[in-house]
Structure 1
């Protein structure tokens, strides 16, 4: 079959082969053997009875090592790899490995992968619509839960998707083993599923920045003050009320003595009291004078001189609420509060010193107010309505426990019926909460989790977070997550829209058929150690077949994923069945 080596280059050899060969040799692996030296190669192309064979690595004491130091000599003998060598390359000899798929080049031999090499690293899964990508992901996870000798009882896989297509594939994992459980949370408030919930007090300043579409750094300071206020006000005690009165009185005083016409001053004070009020300071409170009382709003009637007729009465009344001596406890501590409490706190923030009379800051703060108000007065508020206070530990426990005491290994968040912007904010917030929780564990990496992002290009983008917050949560997880046990799996048909930083940190790749030239160029540019050979292979793949490479693989291999059982609901609509009725019979 193989005659002689005619040339050896930097990373490949040219080998003469027989003119008549019945076997399809392309992509098969061969051994260059000489004096106990065994170099592994792959037949990349055949032209005019010559084969170009790329060097991949070396077998030393029956173990494969990626890369080569010594090239084969011109006299080396060449043969197709044997069964033992194939078993080493496909992980067949590892009793703790999980099934990935089958090798169509080697009579559907099983291809196995090491659990740590796969699940303790970030993974990218690319493929066109219809390439079998979703089926492949479903089968990959099902394979983890159908290992014969080990069960992933302590695994935690959080899936974020915009449809419930994975529900059918995973809802019956309890049938594999009674220790397995599955949970699904949905944003569809009309469904029978558990509704996704986020406790407001567990959200950080950065979370609110994502939720409220912050566009300027000064808005961060507004959010910080808002959280300080809501923490204090939520106690609803005498100190909270005194502080509210202090803020209102201070704001009124600053406006009252500003260099504006009386009508403008009155409008601003009315605006303050419309958004922020207490039983002592509101537009309808009766203000006591000498021998009479007057409603506060009527104190701002303007006389013929263009002045407030009751200016002295106003001043004397409000100054008794200003308390510059008390050191107010403004530091934020997590307490129970509602989205209405948050709105109130933001209103008080906007009348506070340094914001009210600063036109730019007030305008930016008002943009936050409009956004928060739109959430509070829409169906979106239901996602933040949590009945009782909970700690971060209790929140995470509630996510992964079923019936209070059974552990769920797969938790599926279905983000349907909401716009992309809000969905992106939710995924960022959950991911940040997960990451911060994992960092807080006393034993680093003691509870590894995987965050699987279906349609990852909707979330993992290069956006303004780096400019506003100084970081992007997905980029931070990509760079730091593995040491804390937080891994990401990115599933997408549009890799060009992914963050370059995140993609560069992925160690494993499953590439199903993908055709768009821009995507192929981007993958070649951004994916570490990918070759043009690998990209060429995926162009001719059948549906459900991928090129697998990275840390989980000894060498890049074409892998046929078995059909998931049960299947996800991701197939195309059956148009013939739904549209057509039989009209005639021949």
Structure 2
């Protein structure tokens, strides 16, 4: 094992120019071999500039060969020949002190200082990973990968993470790979996954073609048909948003009074003592009784048989009733009302969505693919807020640290200020700013970082950037990264599928990482047009079955 950061076998050149954060190296070699491992002067590789000033850790940002002409003396006289100069440009990352990596440098390297390649073992040693004792780090690369990479779980999950990549860059596979690695490395994680396209159950054993008992035993996949979000868990703002009621009118005050009254009666019925009941308390109330009480109040008459409410007031009450009845009878919103008969309590609900029942589940996937687009944002916001309240009132945040995976985040926490996204944005942004101290982290997954709330992305401590071809998305990543790393974004368009530039709290040394291929795979592969358009539809294809699923809003078959 190499014990020095200046191995003579890995020396490849010396420094010829130092210009602030940029260092120019004249290279004698562009590749070196040690113990059967070949190291290249490639963009993203790690280099040690070692001299009397100490060890300065840099990363390669540019490699070029410059052809020059020089005059040499021969037996026949002077002759002009071509020669090549190998030039490697480095960017400062930090320094090594007593064998440990530190950000920033005290002294810049000097001219003619020697430069050395760093192996993956040297890099892991620099960032302080001792696999015999360290339980914070877990491996995210293949076992035979020359560039073994470990991420710090505490910082990855606790300080928020952004996984960014254009469609087709391997984003879904990377997310599945990271979660599979966590499930393989830790016995009792706690992850709640918002699955917008029903892609991920297949990656955790819920696929007859590639089953996995290990992952399936740890995973609770809640299909759209079984998904519910009881309306009585909504706070007043959320209730108004879901039922399309006017937040700024008398409708708000009317509903507040009636809902509070019904919750007080329910608390008395259930003999709940020493609790403070408000309109936001997550206690059951019957929406049918709510509608009935509002109708009664609207139609109330005085002793002379005349209406007590004015025509304008009656119109306000009628508006509430019509909207409540409209949503109540709309089959697209059946997930709000399916638990009425059971009067599901908040503790029963958490046992389901967080896997806290007798048979514990550590990865809980919520299939939200059947949610109406116009209410999806509110539902994600409501469940996130419930999880925040769950952790906020936990006296010991380390009891059940929780991470929320926000797949396709741009569809419900966008950068724009459209009112229909406000509830979700406010809830998620609060978690981004305050969740860490309560043991609640976010993993934000998106193909359009430029369209995601800057407040949320700027609070992320770790960035996993896969291939990004859009210059607007690239520029947003540059603004989020430190100045010393902004140049690394330039190679994002050339990354391979499943390869990412990883930087931030979870990895001390920013680097390119080829994540291990998930097994099983998520249901996100490209469609094989060439196959389908060659052989036609399958023998068991049924248009009637498709239409039936569409009409029933049921994708289980």
TM-score bracket, normalised by the shorter chain, equals 0.7 to 0.9
Q: Deviations over 1:455-481 (max 9, x none)?
A: 111111244669987980011010001
Q: Which moved more, 1:117-126 or 1:516-525?
A: 516-525
Counterpart pick for 1:409 among 362, 369, 377: 362
The structural deviation recorded for 1:427 is 0.8
CA distance in 1, matches of 2:130, 2:462: 21
CA distance in 2, matches of 1:470, 1:143: 29
What SS does the corresponding residue of 1:101 show, helix, strand or coil?
Answer: coil
What SS does the corresponding residue of 2:406 show, helix, strand or coil?
Answer: strand
Who is 1:8 aligned against? 18
Is 2:502 the partner of 1:548?
yes
Cα distance change, pair 486–21 in 1 and its aligned pair in 2 (3 A):
closer
Who is 1:377 aligned against? 329
Cα distance change, pair 401–123 in 1 and its aligned pair in 2 (3 A):
closer
Who is 1:265 aligned against? none
CA distance in 2, matches of 1:71, 1:558: 25
TM-score by length of 1: 0.73
Counterpart pick for 1:108 among 139, 146, 150: 146
Cα distance change, pair 80–467 in 1 and its aligned pair in 2 (3 A):
closer
Residues 99 and 113, structure 1, Cα contact 8 Å, conserved in 2: yes
Question: Which 5+ residue runs of structure 1 have no aligned equivalent?
Answer: 190-194, 238-328
Cα distance change, pair 57–357 in 1 and its aligned pair in 2 (3 A):
farther
Residues 120 and 148, structure 2, Cα contact 8 Å, conserved in 1: no
The structural deviation recorded for 1:555 is 1.8
Who is 1:17 aligned against? 27
Cα distance change, pair 80–157 in 1 and its aligned pair in 2 (3 A):
same
Who is 1:523 aligned against? 477
CA distance in 1, matches of 2:150, 2:515: 12
Cα distance change, pair 555–331 in 1 and its aligned pair in 2 (3 A):
closer
Counterpart pick for 1:337 among 263, 285, 308: 285
The structural deviation recorded for 1:220 is 4.0
Q: Superposition pairs for residues 261-410 of structure 1, below 5 Å?
A: 332=279, 335-347=283-295, 357=310, 359=312, 368-379=320-331, 380-386=333-339, 387-401=341-355, 404-410=357-363
Cα distance change, pair 392–21 in 1 and its aligned pair in 2 (3 A):
closer
Residues 7 and 74, structure 1, Cα contact 8 Å, conserved in 2: yes
Cα distance change, pair 522–334 in 1 and its aligned pair in 2 (3 A):
closer
CA distance in 2, matches of 1:555, 1:523: 17
Is 2:181 the partner of 1:143?
yes
Q: Deviations over 1:271-304 (max 9, x none)?
A: xxxxxxxxxxxxxxxxxxxxxxxxxxxxxxxxxx
Q: Deviations over 1:553-584 (max 9, x none)?
A: 112211101111011111122222222139xx
CA distance in 2, matches of 1:356, 1:496: 50
Q: Which moved more, 1:548-557 or 1:393-402?
A: 393-402
Who is 2:406 aligned against? 453
Who is 2:467 aligned against? 513
Cα distance change, pair 348–382 in 1 and its aligned pair in 2 (3 A):
farther
Cα distance change, pair 551–212 in 1 and its aligned pair in 2 (3 A):
same
CA distance in 1, matches of 2:501, 2:390: 35
Question: Which 5+ residue runs of structure 2 have no aligned equivalent?
Answer: 1-10, 33-38, 67-85, 270-275, 302-307, 537-557
Counterpart pick for 1:26 among 31, 35, 42: 42
Aligned-pair RMSD on alpha carbons? 3.4
The structural deviation recorded for 1:75 is 4.2
Residues 136 and 561, structure 1, Cα contact 8 Å, conserved in 2: yes
CA distance in 1, matches of 2:257, 2:195: 34
Q: Deviations over 1:176-225 (max 9, x none)?
A: 389x52112233x3xxxxx1122333221132133134564335434422
Residues 102 and 111, structure 1, Cα contact 8 Å, conserved in 2: no
Q: Deviations over 1:503-532 (max 9, x none)?
A: 111111111111112222222234566733
The structural deviation recorded for 1:54 is 0.8
Q: Deviations over 1:302-347 (max 9, x none)?
A: xxxxxxxxxxxxxxxxxxxxxxxxxxx9954654323323333554
Who is 2:200 aligned against? 166
CA distance in 2, matches of 1:381, 1:424: 17
CA distance in 2, matches of 1:465, 1:40: 47
Higher relative contact order (CA 8 A, sep 6+): 1
The structural deviation recorded for 1:356 is 5.5
Q: Superposition pairs for residues 392-541 of structure 1, below 5 Å?
A: 392-401=346-355, 404-462=357-415, 463=417, 472-527=426-481, 531-541=485-495
Residues 183 and 412, structure 1, Cα contact 8 Å, conserved in 2: yes
The structural deviation recorded for 1:13 is 1.2
Who is 1:316 aligned against? none
Residues 210 and 428, structure 1, Cα contact 8 Å, conserved in 2: no
Who is 1:209 aligned against? 240
CA distance in 2, matches of 1:222, 1:452: 36
Which protein has the larger Cα radius of gyration, Structure 1 or Structure 2?
1
Cα distance change, pair 408–467 in 1 and its aligned pair in 2 (3 A):
closer
The structural deviation recorded for 1:6 is 2.3
CA distance in 2, matches of 1:157, 1:214: 33
Is 2:110 the partner of 1:73?
yes
The structural deviation recorded for 1:5 is 2.2
Cα distance change, pair 541–119 in 1 and its aligned pair in 2 (3 A):
same
Counterpart pick for 1:176 among 180, 203, 214: 214
CA distance in 2, matches of 1:164, 1:471: 23
Residues 101 and 111, structure 1, Cα contact 8 Å, conserved in 2: yes
CA distance in 1, matches of 2:462, 2:310: 54
The structural deviation recorded for 1:358 is 8.9
What SS does the corresponding residue of 1:570 show, helix, strand or coil?
Answer: coil
